Chains A and B, each alone.
Chain A
Amino acid sequence: MAATNEPTIGEVKAPPEIEQETRADEAPVDPELLALPPDASFNEYITAWLKRVRRGESGVLPVVGGLIVIVIIFQIERSRFLSDLNLVNLLQQSAEFIVLGMAEIFVLLLGEIDLSLGYSGAVGAAVMAILAYPPINLSWELAIIAGLATSAAIGFAQGQLISRMRLPPFVVTLGGLLFWEGFLIWVINNQSPSNGGSIRINSATIYNIVNGNLSLAAGWILLAVGLVLFAVASVTRDRRRRAGGLVAPPLSLTLAKVVAVSIAGVVLVWICNANRAAFVGASVKGVPWVVPIVIALVVAWTFLLARTRFGRYVYAIGGNREAARRAGINVHRVRVFAYTLAGVTAAAAIIILDSRTGGVTTDIDGGQTVLYGVAAAVIGGTSLLGGRGKMIHALLGGLVIATIYNGMGLLSLSTDFQYMITALVLLAAVIVDAVSRRGQAVT
């Protein structure tokens, strides 16, 4: 019966209809929506979205919901939580968590981690402060650029070690954490032996990054410009897709999004522009500079990840490094560049922190700071396993951490509780991630 003994393997069976649902974090347009007919209406889109949420594909909903719950709890406990003064305070406090979270996301997307970002960013910030201080007195622009470049160089060097020498990122950056802490102490003590391990921020501009405010008019104008750009970009993208014969959301949905963002922006500027001075007769108002700076950074890095080849390759390497290599991607270069960008962004985060506190000190706990950065990213929804995450996650996660920090401060709870509560929130975020992923069988 030789004829029946064919050595065949190709099974004959029809491909099953797929049922699993997914989170397409990096798709420029929601895949569920793209499955709709090209002429789907506003209502059909809303229905499709609600269906997705009900199936457990909530995206950023859990963290937004969690944030609202935390805010309500604090507001019930302390009615001054939602005061203008405290809300602006909260924005200023959240900036460093958000930016550090973004720094960490570059590395987390690769499926790796950088534990050194707190201290490597602090070294960059120290270089900036020293250059802006007598006797050097460099201009603030050059001092900041030098600070960012220093941390970029650190990220580049560690990235080279990790990628070219194939060393584990955890160990290399743990070494970096220790090394740059030592280096920071050495540099600061060397520079100002008499100041007890700190260097004052000597540039008014750098100090004002967090502590200065835009004029009332400037706040509104900036908002208007930002909203127009956002609206034009959204509508243009849809039009391009439709012109190419592809599915795009209906105009009404896009406009609804623009309106929602506009309302949020107006409320933000409104709160910041109210007089929030603690004393009667005094006047403190205006959007803190750091707010547009952070938003611009979120937009820029989101754009980099979503619209450039580099960003696409970061996701690809995090998803399947061998597949990325076989696709001809220069994996070394992309990884080293990601570590370099993480370094630059970490420097920005610590510069913001130092601007808020008014000085660079050896007391900074870079080990804990970097874990807050990781926590911000993960709480926002970025996966520790690589390949899944967005810059907006750092924004949301950073706000959550700052809110806990701020609210616990108002309740005069000490740091022991702050740490424990933050840890619980982090745990909750990881659980939400694990549960939402369970439905998706990834072969």
Chain B
Amino acid sequence: MTADSTAAASQPQEGNVSRSASAGRETNPGKDGQADGAPASDILLSLHGISKHFGPVIALDGVDLDVPSGRITALIGDNGAGKSTLIKVIAGIHEPDRGEIYWNGKRVDIRTPHHATELGVATVYQDLALCDNLDIVANMFLGLEQRRHGLLDETPMELKAKETLASLSVTSVRSIRQPVGSLSGGQRQSVAVARAVMGDAKLVIMDEPTAALGVSQTAMVLELIQRLAASGIAVIVISHNLIDVFSVADRMAILYLGRLVSAGPASDYDRQSAVEIMTTGGLSERENGAHGAEAAV
């Protein structure tokens, strides 16, 4: 099933990533993915040995992860496993202590959120990171404002915001000009998701994008995630809802206490094995089999 060690986890399995995924969904060859069909050409983002500590807490410990374009990578793990920290490293919020980041095969240092945005990373944060005092349009375009003669150009921003929210079937907001602080939790989450998918990002990261959403909105977000991937965008999704995860993910990456203990095509996992690895680091799996899975749940 899955490899135990971090080092062995991602590399050997890259070969069947595209194959297994192409069975389920139309393949999307990377920019230079031509006759050779080398899977490496699909890799948009590659992390090597990423480590990060906060004081004595080791949040990330030598994480290796490849994120291919046109695929949905699910990042799962228990509370405090380091999922949010990992995506914050990618989004330029935390600088890693050690490790390298490659973007389209080129070494990059993502020092600021601005730099990440310039590369084409858009992120939905777990805490949403919205300004309660600003209205929906201002939040969706924060840092990306459209201007005309150097001044804010509200009309196109408002139209674009409306259109994006409608595509997420967010219809319950009273006015697109109301402050985000007056929205319900689900509406706020929809605004954060809309903000991330509105632009033309190459990598969309979503940290618990559906945690506060109702049935129809969750379905819309999941469908949207699939649409993003189908259009060639790399997607990283973090979720504790394994039903959702398994319904959309092409690839799995499982963090356990800051280490990436397992990664591979989603078809190599089922919910039980995923839970087992999430809760035990996968070490007891071989010996205990199904019994271990029950104990873990």
Instruction: Using CB atoms and an 8 Å cutoff, list the residues of chain A in contact with chain B.
Output: 2, 5-18, 20-32, 34-35, 240-241, 243-246, 307-309, 312, 315-316, 318-320, 322-330, 387-388, 440, 442-443
Q: Please tell me which stretch of B32-40, B54-62, B169-177, B226-234 contacts chain A, meaning at least 4 of its Cβ atoms lie within 8 angstroms of it.
A: B169-177
Q: Which residues of A contact B145 (CB under 8 A)?
A: 309, 312
The distance in angstroms between the C-alpha atoms of A22 and B187, with both chains bound, is 15
Report the minimal beta-carbon distance from A238 to chain B, rounded to whole angstroms.
Answer: 11
* Smallest Cβ-Cβ distance to A320: which chain B residue: B131
Name B131's contact: one of A31, A246, A323, A443 (CB within 8 Å).
A323
Q: Are B172 and A17 in contact (CB under 8 A)?
A: yes
B5 at the interface (CB under 8 A from A): no
Pairs A-B, 8 closest by C-beta atoms: A319-B131, A327-B143, A328-B114, A319-B133, A387-B133, A244-B155, A15-B186, A10-B241
Name A8's contact: one of B159, B176, B241 (CB within 8 Å).
B241
Q: Are A15 and B242 in contact (CB under 8 A)?
A: no
The distance in angstroms between the C-alpha atoms of A2 and B215, with both chains bound, is 24
Given contacts A10-B213, A312-B152, A319-B134, contact A18 B172 (CB under 8 A): yes
Q: Are A18 and B182 in contact (CB under 8 A)?
A: yes
The distance in angstroms between the C-alpha atoms of A2 and B292, with both chains bound, is 12
* Smallest Cβ-Cβ distance to B131: which chain A residue: A319
0/1 interface trace, chain B 171-204, chain A, CB 8 Å (1 if under): 0111111110111111110000000000000000
Q: Which residues of A contact B41 (CB under 8 A)?
A: none
B4 at the interface (CB under 8 A from A): no
Report the minimal beta-carbon distance from B28 to chain A, rounded to whole angstroms.
Answer: 28
Q: Which residues of A contact B131 (CB under 8 A)?
A: 315-316, 319-320, 323-324, 387
8 A-B residue pairings within 8 Å (CB atoms)? A7-B242, A16-B184, A26-B135, A31-B177, A244-B155, A246-B158, A328-B114, A440-B182
Q: Are A320 and B129 in contact (CB under 8 A)?
A: yes
Report the minimal beta-carbon distance from A289 to chain B, rounded to whole angstroms.
Answer: 29
Name A320's contact: one of B130, B174, B182 (CB within 8 Å).
B130
Report the minimal beta-carbon distance from B26 to chain A, rounded to whole angstroms.
Answer: 27
* Smallest Cβ-Cβ distance to A10: which chain B residue: B241
Q: Are B134 and A34 in contact (CB under 8 A)?
A: no
Q: Are B174 and A12 in contact (CB under 8 A)?
A: no
Q: Which residues of B contact A327 (CB under 8 A)?
A: 113, 129, 142-144
Instruction: Using CB atoms and an 8 Å cutoff, list the residues of chain B in contact with chain A.
Output: 91, 93, 112-114, 116-117, 123, 125, 129-135, 138, 142-145, 147, 150-152, 154-156, 158-159, 172-179, 181-188, 210-215, 217-218, 239-244, 271-272, 275, 278, 293-294, 297
Q: Are B214 and A328 in contact (CB under 8 A)?
A: no
Report the minimal beta-carbon distance from A299 to chain B, rounded to whole angstroms.
Answer: 14
Name 12 extra pairs, CB < 8 A, besides A7-B275, A312-B134, A324-B142. Answer: A10-B211, A12-B215, A13-B214, A15-B213, A26-B138, A29-B177, A34-B175, A316-B142, A319-B132, A329-B143, A387-B132, A443-B185
Q: Are B244 and A10 in contact (CB under 8 A)?
A: yes
The distance in angstroms between the C-alpha atoms of A211 and B243, with both chains bound, is 76
Give the residue among A30, A245, A246 with the most B Cβ atoms within 10 A.
A246
Q: Which residues of B contact A21 (CB under 8 A)?
A: 182
Q: Are A315 and B133 in contact (CB under 8 A)?
A: yes
Q: Are B172 and A31 in contact (CB under 8 A)?
A: no
Report the minimal beta-carbon distance from B34 to chain A, rounded to whole angstroms.
Answer: 34
Q: Which residues of B contact A243 (CB under 8 A)?
A: 155
Name B142's contact: one of A6, A10, A308, A323 (CB within 8 Å).
A323
Q: Are A15 and B172 in contact (CB under 8 A)?
A: yes
Q: Are B134 and A315 in contact (CB under 8 A)?
A: yes
Q: Are B175 and A32 in contact (CB under 8 A)?
A: yes
The distance in angstroms between the C-alpha atoms of A286 and B213, with both chains bound, is 63
The distance in angstroms between the C-alpha atoms of A438 and B134, with both chains bound, is 18
Name A6's contact: one of B154, B159, B212, B243 (CB within 8 Å).
B243
Report the minimal beta-carbon distance from B164 to chain A, rounded to whole angstroms.
Answer: 15
Name A326's contact: one of B91, B144, B174 (CB within 8 Å).
B91
Report the minimal beta-carbon distance from A123 to chain B, rounded to whole angstroms.
Answer: 32
* Smallest Cβ-Cβ distance to B150: which chain A residue: A308
The distance in angstroms between the C-alpha atoms of A234 and B154, with both chains bound, is 15
Q: Which residues of B contact A24 (CB under 8 A)?
A: 135, 177-179
* Smallest Cβ-Cβ distance to B117: which chain A residue: A328
